[in-house]
Structure 1
């Protein structure tokens, strides 16, 4: 922010850039607050139309009149900026989010999970002049998270809290990393809305950033995933980031997406396998987003949703929610670069 304002420096234009380009991924120290802080990108399509030859040109070409056919123009390459580069530029920004949402009551239950595609869950705007994040729920409310609502900041994430009785709202932005290298085009965001009168809540948890606009139409790709999240196991909330991992495979011709996740955590000083998840999804036509279902080794079920980011699907990121007897009320993120 501006000098002398008393606002945390992380919210200045320079600090936003540094924050979004950070190389750390964080830890699970705050995951016991996951019911409050459980993490949009703009989709543009470029269309090219072929010129239509006149009847005279077609007849001349067929009759050998010496006129060569017009060569097909080379498509203009799609230009990408990283998230950090976007935030370094002046002006407001707008991002759509793809991910999962669920409802519940604090201390009682979680459920009602859904996936939402880009543009159908919530939208994030960054208001440059005010260093404010404006979060809008489709068909619902809009919340402004100003510098005065900042509650936590680190190299890889910021958290905000806003109370407007009878509601509380919390918002978090996080930067995923793989082997301590931050991803360039992928970010996560979380919005949690709590009704104070009965402590019911809705969480929106999604991936955003710079969605792929030149999605591959053929071939396959695999991604090694870094995981972040928490699960309740034997009535204890466990962080799942340090000892967990996963993979995602995409068939760009068919649009099929499959993912496998393996979760381990330290229990009594020993690294213990908590469970595994398998997911299947389909890339939404004309977009880089996807959403699907999860099944677990403990017989539970869940959902996951996210998208591909950067040039030619260079990165992938998604959020997930799962509930089973060994991994109760589990949620988290998965992200990684293409092989």
Structure 2
């Protein structure tokens, strides 16, 4: 009998070994399998008192994270920046009427909304293949005072470039798009814009230089965020072991400062994706920065 058991076990093991492994997705434009993608995310919290007033604005530390896609339900599963056990699932088949060719919008109950980029679509002049990003907004009752408490979490995920495949020579310039939220005493603003990031690759070390041209539109009445425009002079370093980069000198202009932190995406660093932090003029902002190169 023991021999029969060993033979049965061996046969099972051989059958499992002979089973083909499920292939991971090679792009985000046509997801054929469920997959957990490495991600970065950050959250800005504030209380929207009225169209022209916000309080308690604060940035919460960037965090490495995971964005999971479930093929069977065509859903994305996100997790909270602070509590990894807190997750929400968004079914793309239940898209809201406010969705566009560039972004799918999904409601989760009455207090949560996901706005996620549709890979392959052109947004602010670029189309991404290996990088995805989105905004997860949660609303509720503030702990103190009146108004609406808001958590805006921005996340970037995708197919990171393997460390060994990030170039070690030459340079590449990425055309970038930025998408985020900024809040100060005068209200809450949707921030959008374009820019440029140049990666200067080196055998032992690498650097980045970046700039952006941003605009802020206030939620509620579309008033412009005063002073926001061209931000220049940003610089930073490349960390090859993590296929990433981070700013050491912020891009500045109009009393604002813009810092970035991100990764290279695609099999040969064809794209970048990460987070930005916007500070100055009495407020704070967070958002996603993504880009492509020729």
TM-score normalised per structure 1: 0.60
8 Å CA contact 1:227–1:333 kept in 2: the answer is yes
**Worse overlay, 146-155 or 255-264:** 146-155
Q: Secondary structure at the match of 2:85?
A: coil
Shift of 1:237: 6.3
Alignment pair present for 1:124 and 2:67: yes
Structure 2: runs of 5+ lacking an equivalent: 1-23, 49-53
1:112-151 CA-to-partner distances (Å, cap 9, x unmatched) read 34333xxx23x22122222222112363312122357643
Shift of 1:284: 3.7
Could you list the runs of 4 or more consecutive aligned residues of structure 1 that deviate by over 6 angstroms after TM superposition? none
Shift of 1:260: 0.9
Shift of 1:186: 1.7
8 Å CA contact 1:105–1:201 kept in 2: the answer is yes
Alignment pair present for 1:276 and 2:230: yes
Separation (CA, whole Å) in 2 of partners of 1:136 and 1:286:
25
Separation (CA, whole Å) in 2 of partners of 1:194 and 1:148:
23
Q: How many residues align?
A: 247
Aligned to 1:289: 244
Q: Secondary structure at the match of 2:254?
A: coil
CA, structure 1 residues 245+132, in 2 after alignment: closer, same or farther (shift >3 Å)? closer
Equivalent positions of 1:42-61 (< 5 A) are: none
Aligned to 1:313: 269
Equivalent positions of 1:93-132 (< 5 A) are: 93-106=35-48, 107-116=54-63, 120-121=64-65, 123-132=66-75
Aligned to 2:199: 250
Aligned to 1:259: 210
8 Å CA contact 2:47–2:142 kept in 1: the answer is no
Bigger share in strand: 2
Structure 1: runs of 5+ lacking an equivalent: 1-78
Alignment pair present for 1:223 and 2:174: yes
Separation (CA, whole Å) in 2 of partners of 1:215 and 1:136:
28
Separation (CA, whole Å) in 2 of partners of 1:305 and 1:153:
28
Separation (CA, whole Å) in 2 of partners of 1:111 and 1:186:
27
Shift of 1:248: 0.5
Separation (CA, whole Å) in 2 of partners of 1:307 and 1:160:
26
Of structures 1 and 2, the larger Rg is shown by 1
Alignment pair present for 1:338 and 2:281: no
Aligned to 1:153: 99
Q: Secondary structure at the match of 2:168?
A: coil
With a CA cutoff of 8 Å and minimum separation of 6, indicate the structure with the bigger relative contact order. 1
Separation (CA, whole Å) in 1 of partners of 2:186 and 2:117:
27
CA, structure 1 residues 230+124, in 2 after alignment: closer, same or farther (shift >3 Å)? closer
Separation (CA, whole Å) in 2 of partners of 1:80 and 1:251:
29
Aligned to 1:210: 159
CA, structure 1 residues 139+162, in 2 after alignment: closer, same or farther (shift >3 Å)? same
8 Å CA contact 2:59–2:285 kept in 1: the answer is no
Aligned residue among 171, 177, 181 for 2:122? 177
Separation (CA, whole Å) in 2 of partners of 1:141 and 1:265:
30
Q: Secondary structure at the match of 2:228?
A: strand
